[in-house]
Every structure is written in structure tokens, then in C-alpha cells.
Chains A and B, each alone.
Chain A
């Protein structure tokens, strides 16, 4: 655990000091402001629009940062040979991998928390505080970002190319929102084997549409949903990290 924490601390410091991280957070704040200005067009639904556009900005910035950082996380250290230096110390490979992943997630979460705080203060200041739980909406976004990060890490180690890993990450993100359509197609499919194949494909992809509390918030999703969503993110994320650890163990430097 100590080695995981040491790598975690070093990764978190590295990201927080980087200009890219600061730029992303600042760009996110600009997006929040732009959303507030654009909301004038929504007339009676201004509060709703500021809320939705703000959450969308937090998701977009969090997601892009997480995928970009995670895909480069290990590959860049392998390319620059910095990983040799670290692994000559008594650090297990999977400890290194987990420390790097959670350090990155923490850095992205800090940026998202900053954006979330500014967004919430903006909503409070104008009396547009959401009817549902804002914190739960924010946590659901963090869950999606964490899950996507775990998947991006796995893809980066499996594909060993940054461009391919990023392209496949985008593919899985879109596929994760396409699962309701896949189920719809499966229901209307006349062939049993084809239906099974489509459903298996839909289950294998992370189902982000079911984790989207921000989208479902207006409809008052039941609180029990949150517990199942957390379990789903933990289980799917652990599966990705376990495979990533195994791939990293197999790598020959």
C-alpha cells in the first residue's frame, strides 16, 4: 500500500503542476460562464439550461482530461524510459499502475470539484439550485469519468499506440451511450442468435446511459439507483484494472 500511495502522490503532484491540467480547469470555468450567458435564450428554463450546460461542461472537460492523461500515463513513461528508473525500486508493477491511475483520477476529480463548486455557487446565486441532488449528479459524472479512464488505460496497454487507444476510447464512450439502441435493435431482431449476439455486445460495453444521473435528474431517479450505479462502476472498473495489471505484467521492457 505504501508504494501505491507513493506513486499516487507523485502522479497527483505531477498532474496538478502541469499546465495542461490548469488550462483544462480554466477552460471549464469559461464554459460554465458561456453556459450562463447562453441560458438567456431559454427564457423560462434558464435555470435548467445553466444546470445542464454546466454539468455537460464538467463531464466534457473531465472526460477529455481523463482519457488524454490516462492513455499517455504509462506509454509516455515507457517511451521516455522513466518507467525503468521507477521499476528498479522495490515497486511491484501493479502497484505502480494503480498508483498512476488513481493519482490521475484524483487530479481530474480535483479539477472537476473546482468546476462543480463554481457551478453550484452560480446556481445558488441566481436561485436556480436544482430540485434533485447536485452532489449525486456530480458523483455520477465522476463515476463515468473513472470508468472511462480505467477502460482507456486498458486500451493503451493493449494497443500500445496513443492514437489507437484514444480512437477506441471514443468508440467505447459512444457505444456506451448507444446501448439502449442496441437493445432496441435486439428486441426487434427476428433471429435468436443475432439477438443474443447484439445483447452480449451491449452488455460487454460499459453502459454509460444507465449511469447518466445528470440526464435522468429531471425525472427524479430513485435513490437506490445510486447504490447499484456505484457497484457497477466499481465492478467494471476493477475488471479493466485487473486486465491492465495483467497486460502490464506481461510487458517486456
Chain B
């Protein structure tokens, strides 16, 4: 290829590439810059994976680490005695900074922050859900959870329960929220509803890790029902 023609092809292609860059940038999904990643011991891991082009896998890994934290804790993020799950907000925020469309991370984080009695940080739960509304629009569960938290704040537990119950059939609802609702029903003596939820969890193959807890709860609730009938 003559030099002049090669250079002309190069120049023309470069101009087209620069011209295309604008519309492509407008249509591409914009992710938060790495500077918005919350400070955690995993920053280097997250930045390395993102810069190597594995953003979605980085978010998945962050999700697994959050579940590990909730299950057994993470040695990198120890909780002070009497303050369990103190890092849950930052871990949830880390996932959604890596992938703002990770619906379940907002809902899971908000469930723990808003409804775990030993955590009880509903303001942070609302902030996380509001971040979801801003970065990941179109998910109705965020609004419903915010409304449920508002009812909780006002002390209107029946309305809160009714609202959460309406989200149960939504495929995006985390198993954790189903368990929270089952425990709420149990604490109110509505054993039939609680049993129904635990049985649903037991039938869900995706919630296999929660099956032993579901079996225990079913046994416990049946015993409570029997005791109630006996007295």
C-alpha cells in the first residue's frame, strides 16, 4: 500500500473514531468514577478488576464478600463488640458503586439496615434506597421499601407489614426480607402467614443456604401453634 494511501486511510479512520466517540459516550452506560468507591480494605481489588475490564465480576465478588460478612464476618472488617454488622452500609454502597444496577444489593443492604433490630439504622437504609432510585431508576421495590420504613418510623406496624407483604411475590425480593417478614408475623402471633413464607423459602432452590433455618423455624412455629391451641 503506498504510504500516502495508508496515511489517508489512517487519518480518515481516526476522524471517524473521534466523531463516533461522542454519540457512543452518550449511549453507553455511565458508571460512577472509582473516586466514588467507598473506602474499604478491598479498594485495590475493586480498582484492579475495574481497570482490567471486569467490572461486573468485581461487583459479584463484592456481593459474595458482603454475604460472607453477614454470615461469618470478614477478618478485614471486624465488628466492635455489641455493634454487629456495623460495616453493612459501606459494603452495600461498594457493590452499587461498582454496578449501580445491582438491584438486590440496595434491597439487601436496606433490609439489614432498616429491619435488623441489632442494627436499626433506618436513615441509612433510606439513603441507600434513594441512591438506588437515582442511579437505578425503574425499580418499584425501592419506593415500596422507603414507604415501609416511613410506616416503621411512625410506628404503624400493620401498614408496614401489609406493604412488605405486597412485595413478597416480586422476584427481586431478597430472601432476607422474606425472613424478616416471617419473623414479624411470628412476633405478632400470625403463625399461618409466617409458616407460608418459610415454606416458600423452603421451596425456593435459589435459597438453599436458608433451608436449614426455614426447617427450624417451621418446627418452632408449629410448636408455638400447638402450644397456643393447648392453652
Contacts and interface: CB of A to CB of B under 8 A. Distances in A.
Chain B: number of interface residues, binned into ranges: 35 or more
Interface in A4-60: 41-46, 48-49, 52-53, 55-56, 59-60
A208 B50 CA distance: 11
B33 interface: yes
Contacts of A235: 13-14, 16-17, 20
B104 A44 contact: yes
B110 to A, nearest CB: 15
Given A43-B206, A44-B206, A52-B56, A221 B20 contact: no
B30 to A, nearest CB: 7
Contact of A210 (B25, B35, B55): B25
Interface string B57-84: 1011001100110000000000000000
Nearest to A95: B1
26 contacts: A42-B63, A43-B67, A43-B208, A45-B60, A48-B60, A52-B60, A94-B6, A173-B52, A174-B51, A177-B50, A181-B35, A210-B21, A210-B25, A215-B56, A219-B29, A219-B101, A225-B27, A228-B23, A238-B9, A239-B10, A242-B10, A242-B13, A243-B6, A246-B1, A246-B3, A246-B7
Interface of B: 1, 3, 6-7, 9-10, 13-14, 16-18, 20-21, 23-25, 27-31, 33-35, 50-57, 59-60, 63-64, 67-68, 99-102, 104, 136, 174-175, 206-210
A150 to B, nearest CB: 10
Interface of A: 41-46, 48-49, 52-53, 55-56, 59-60, 63, 92-94, 144, 173-174, 176-178, 180-181, 184, 203, 207-210, 212, 214-222, 224-225, 228-229, 231-232, 235-236, 238-239, 242-243, 245-246, 249-250
Contact of B53 (A173, A219, A236): A173
Contacts of B174: 44
Contacts of A174: 51-52
Contact of A228 (B20, B59, B207): B20
Contacts, number: 149
B24 A41 contact: no
A236 B104 CA distance: 37
A208 B53 CA distance: 8
B52 A243 contact: no
Nearest to A42: B64
Contact of B28 (A43, A52, A210): A210
Contacts of A49: 60, 63-64
Interface SS of chain B: helix
Given A53-B60, A221-B29, A245 B104 contact: no
B67 A41 contact: yes
A43 B207 contact: yes
B203 to A, nearest CB: 14
Contact of A177 (B3, B35, B51): B51
A221 B28 contact: yes
B169 to A, nearest CB: 15
A242 B60 contact: no
Given A180-B33, A218-B102, A249-B6, A59 B54 contact: yes
Contact of B55 (A93, A215, A220, A250): A215
Contacts of A217: 56
Which residue of A44, A178, A210, A238 has the most chain B CB atoms within 10 A of its CB atom? A44
A55 B64 CA distance: 18
A174 B49 CA distance: 10
A124 B203 CA distance: 21
